[in-house]
């Protein structure tokens, strides 16, 4: 049974042919039957959701026209601030904290009529690619529960894949929406940096973080983008433009578009994954697009640049978890001892590792060798992409080098885990949009995702290509 889309749900609820309460109960029933096994959520907010759905139905009955997401159930990654609702980043250090405010994205979704079903699990502070680094235990892939859903937004991807919610919101710093989307067989979008407000998104790496949707369909993703994008005065890096209009792009086809194949793409993807990429090029060519070869030589340095920039920014962003104003505290005889004890007990291993590497990369004597160099590599990558986009409208790569892997299989080897994001990281470094669209299956019959990358604010053409791939995958 194919899940009901957000577009259909909102249309049904707005016309009165569908009750928001019924939509919600269907989802909550699935949560009740499978959540114990999957652990997509840190918190299911069923009471608030029921009250909200009832309110929507009442308002529809009263003749009110609700927004474009009327009655659509949404799961929120647990690094988005929700007023009065615990927000943990899957970290002990934030246990018990209830933000006194809503993230801008949460406000916009609520204004559009959405029903929030809960806060989803993630790698602690979004640091990871498997959702195994959660203080509250891992999330499992609904398609094969011995495997990971990817990460860090694994809970959101799993929630959509298991149809616990119609759509979900995640955040993507180095691939944290696209990679789990690929591993769970759903659509995932990382918008242009600055297209979606970060206000209320708990920062991991401020110059890389972007919020984006998980959906079953490209059209739903376009709809979500229309709701959450657009200028926000509370985020100084928000691009001063109105919300994007993307659904109008979906039917335009790809005739005449130039699809770039990166000939010097770093190797390492599994054969089944590369086969799906080839099939995607063929499908687009068959629909009238032309395939062009491009080079992005600096692509390969993305991983190193990312693992210097992201931890450096994170080391500073995570300094505020000091046991003074909110969250956890381990008592100690003096303030410095309290800081060190609290942070040692409150953060998990991967978070500490990144704080350490980031602190080191910024510290006196090493700044130029590490952080300063990484910023220059960002520029190199941007220059290489600019040259590639002079020849191609979009670029296609695999989203993830592999299909969903088994829990625990990457063991205690952080570097092996980092390689999961080889193909997704470069776009974060340069702020470009990219999305993952499910495109058949690869190894073990598990889903494969194709990544579509576009230049800054190139979402319209990116979505055209996504719609074409989705059509071809049917």
Sole residue written with tokens 């990457």: 410
Which residues inside 224-253 make contact with another protein, applying CB under 8 A? 233-237, 239-240
* Residue 291 binds another protein, judged by CB under 8 A: no
Which residues inside 1-60 make contact with another protein, applying CB under 8 A? none
* Residue 376 binds another protein, judged by CB under 8 A: yes
Sole residue written with tokens 């979008």: 189
List 54, 287, 352, 473, residue binding another protein (CB under 8 A) = 352
List 6, 66, 78, 97, residue binding another protein (CB under 8 A) = 97
Q: Of 63-71, 341-349, 387-395, 447-455, which segment contacts another protein by CB under 8 A?
A: 341-349
* Residue 310 binds another protein, judged by CB under 8 A: no
Q: What is the C-alpha to C-alpha distance for residues 116 and 49, in angstroms, rounded to an integer?
A: 6
Q: What minimum distance in Å lies between the beta carbon of 444 and another protein?
A: 29
Q: Of 10-18, 190-198, 278-286, 390-398, which segment contacts another protein by CB under 8 A?
A: 190-198
Q: Of 276-284, 305-313, 444-452, 459-467, which segment contacts another protein by CB under 8 A?
A: 305-313
List 41, 136, 214, 347, residue binding another protein (CB under 8 A) = 347
- Give the nearer residue to another protein in terms of CB position, either 139 or 238: 238
- Give the nearer residue to another protein in terms of CB position, either 259 or 377: 377
Q: What minimum distance in Å lies between the beta carbon of 369 and another protein?
A: 4
Which residues inside 439-458 make contact with another protein, applying CB under 8 A? 456
With CB under 8 A as the rule, give the number of residues binding another protein: 97
Active site residues: 77, 152, 176
* Residue 334 binds another protein, judged by CB under 8 A: yes
* Residue 314 binds another protein, judged by CB under 8 A: no
* Residue 300 binds another protein, judged by CB under 8 A: yes
Q: What minimum distance in Å lies between the beta carbon of 12 and another protein?
A: 33
- Give the nearer residue to another protein in terms of CB position, either 58 or 376: 376
Cβ–Cβ < 8 Å for 462, 436:
no
Q: What minimum distance in Å lies between the beta carbon of 411 and another protein?
A: 13
* Residue 121 binds another protein, judged by CB under 8 A: no
- Give the nearer residue to another protein in terms of CB position, either 145 or 383: 383
Q: What is the 3-state secondary structure (H, E, C) of the chain?
A: CCCCCHHHHHHHHHHCCCCHHHHHHHHHHHHHHHHHHHCCEEEECHHHHHHHHHHHHHHHHCCCCCCCCCCCEEEEECCECECCECCCCCCHHHCCCCCCCCCHHHHHHHHCCCEEEEEECCCHHHCCCCCCCCCCCCCCECCECCECCCCCCHHHHHHHHCCCCCEEEEEECCCCCHHHHHHHCCEEEECCCCCECCCCECCCCCCCCEEEEEECCHHHHHHHHHHHECCCCCCCCCCCCCCCCCHHHHHHCCCCCEEEEECCCCCCCCHHHHHHHHHHHHHHHHCCCEEEEECCHHHHHHHHHHHHHHHHHHHHHHHHCCCCCCCCCCCCCCHHHHHHHHHHHHCCHHHHHHHHHHHHHHCCCCCHHHHHHHHHHHHHHHHHHHHHHHHCCEEEEECCCCCCCECCCCCCCHHHHHHHHCCCHHHHHHCCCEEEEEEEECHHHCEEEEEEECCCCCHHHHHHHHHHHHHHHC
* Residue 324 binds another protein, judged by CB under 8 A: yes
* Residue 116 binds another protein, judged by CB under 8 A: no
Q: What minimum distance in Å lies between the beta carbon of 371 and another protein?
A: 7
Burial of 263 (0-12, 13-18, 19+ CB in 10 A): exposed
* Residue 369 binds another protein, judged by CB under 8 A: yes
Q: What minimum distance in Å lies between the beta carbon of 99 and another protein?
A: 7
Q: What minimum distance in Å lies between the beta carbon of 469 and another protein?
A: 25
* Phi, psi for 103 (deg, rounded to 5): -65, 150
Q: Of 130-138, 149-157, 280-288, 351-359, which segment contacts another protein by CB under 8 A?
A: 351-359
Q: Of 22-30, 91-99, 442-450, 466-474, which segment contacts another protein by CB under 8 A?
A: 91-99
Q: Count how many residues are written for the chain.
A: 474
Q: Of 98-106, 153-161, 267-275, 465-473, which segment contacts another protein by CB under 8 A?
A: 98-106
């Amino acid at each position: 049974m194919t899940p009901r889309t957000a577009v259909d749900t909102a249309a049904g609820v707005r016309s009165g042919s569908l009750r928001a309460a019924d939509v919600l109960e269907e989802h909550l029933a699935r949560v009740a039957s499978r959540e114990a096994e999957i652990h997509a959520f840190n918190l299911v907010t069923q009471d608030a959701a029921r009250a909200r759905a009832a309110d929507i139905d009442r308002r529809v009955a009263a003749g009110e026209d609700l927004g474009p997401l009327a009655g659509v159930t949404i799961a929120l990654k647990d690094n988005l601030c929700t007023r009065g609702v615990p927000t943990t980043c899957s970290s002990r250090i934030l246990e018990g904290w209830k933000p006194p405010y809503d993230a801008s994205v949460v406000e916009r979704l609520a204004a559009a009529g959405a029903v929030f079903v809960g806060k989803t699990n993630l790698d602690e502070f979004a640091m990871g690619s498997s959702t195994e680094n959660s203080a509250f235990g891992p999330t499992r892939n609904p398609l094969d529960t011995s495997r990971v859903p990817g990460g860090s937004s694994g809970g959101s991807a799993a929630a959509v894949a298991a149809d616990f919610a119609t759509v979900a919101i995640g955040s993507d710093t180095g691939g944290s929406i696209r990679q789990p989307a690929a591993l769970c067989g759903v659509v995932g979008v990382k918008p242009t940096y600055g297209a979606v407000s970060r206000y209320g998104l708990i920062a991991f790496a401020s110059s890389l973080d972007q919020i984006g949707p998980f959906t079953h369909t490209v059209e739903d993703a376009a709809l979500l983008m229309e709701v959450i994008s657009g200028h926000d005065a509370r985020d100084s890096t928000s691009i001063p433009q109105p919300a994007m209009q993307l659904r109008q792009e979906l039917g335009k086809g790809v005739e005449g578009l130039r699809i770039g194949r990166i000939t010097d793409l770093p190797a390492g993807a599994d054969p089944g994954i590369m086969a799906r990429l080839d099939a995607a090029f063929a499908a687009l060519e068959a629909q009238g697009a032309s395939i062009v070869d491009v080079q992005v030589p600096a692509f390969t340095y993305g991983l190193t640049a990312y693992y210097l920039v992201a931890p450096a920014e994170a080391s500073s962003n995570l300094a505020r978890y000091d046991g003074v104003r909110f969250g956890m505290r381990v008592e100690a005889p003096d303030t410095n001892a309290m800081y060190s004890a609290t942070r040692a007990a409150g953060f998990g291993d991967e978070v500490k590792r990144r704080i350490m590497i980031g602190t080191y990369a910024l510290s006196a004597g090493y700044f130029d060798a590490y952080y300063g160099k990484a910023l220059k590599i960002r520029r190199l990558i941007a220059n290489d992409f600019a040259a590639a986009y002079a020849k191609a409208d979009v670029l296609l790569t695999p989203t993830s080098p592999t299909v969903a892997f088994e829990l625990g299989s990457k063991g205690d080897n952080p570097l092996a885990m980092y390689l999961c994001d080889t193909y997704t990281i470069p776009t974060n470094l340069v702020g470009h949009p990219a999305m993952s669209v499910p495109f058949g299956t690869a190894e073990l019959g598990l889903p494969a995702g194709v990544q579509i990358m576009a230049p800054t604010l190139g979402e319209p053409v990116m979505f055209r290509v996504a719609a074409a791939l989705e059509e071809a995958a049917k």
